[in-house]
Amino acid sequence: MGKLQCRANFIWLVMLAWCGFANAETLGSSMGIYSYPMQGQSPEQQSRDDYECFTFAKSQTGYDPMNPPQVVAQAPQQGADGSRVAGAARGAVAGAVVGEIAGNDAGKGAAVGATLGAFSGGRQSRQRRQQQAQQADAAAQQQAAGMQNSFRNAYGACIEARGYSAKY
């Protein structure tokens, strides 16, 4: 550890003690990890261990809970996907058949069927894009939760190795 890093750590620990952080919330408890000193560690020692384990977990996982990365879901593809055209074609065929049977006018039936089919195809396309967006959001949330869990596991391993009982 370099001289500048040691000085930054010392300043950080002094600030924690000055603000009463050692007696209040720890870095671990801010992540939902609560530790109890099993070997009579002082509050100052617990603050140092907490900071060092926090730094260890951050370096091991690449995740900083104080500055979490913005996990953004990939936007579903926009643009024509052929649903309207396919819907119009199906509607035209069905409309022509109905028009021919109902009134001997397959052309009008095909036109009406094509219009209704295009609307139906557009609706299906929007529903499909909405479903894709929901799946992408769920995947992004799952990724963020996985990163948090990895951090918690690394922090917990470190703090337990230093003689604390940890619950998370």
Q: Where are the domains of the chain?
A: 3-70+150-167, 83-144
Asked if residues 155 and 33 have their Cβ atoms less than 8 Å apart, the reply is yes
Predicted confidence (pLDDT) per residue in 120-133, tens digit:
766 666 777 888 88
pTM greater than 0.85 (yes/no): no
Cα 126 to Cα 130: distance, rounded to the nearest angstrom? 6
pLDDT at 114: 63
- Alpha-helix residue ranges (DSSP H) falling in the chain: 3-18, 27-30, 43-61, 83-103, 106-161
End-to-end CA distance of the chain: 30
> How does residue 20 score in pLDDT terms, banded at 50, 70 and 90?
very low
Predicted confidence (pLDDT) per residue in 52-96, tens digit:
999 999 999 999 988 888 766 655 555 556 666 666 666 655 655
- Strand, helix or coil at 64? coil
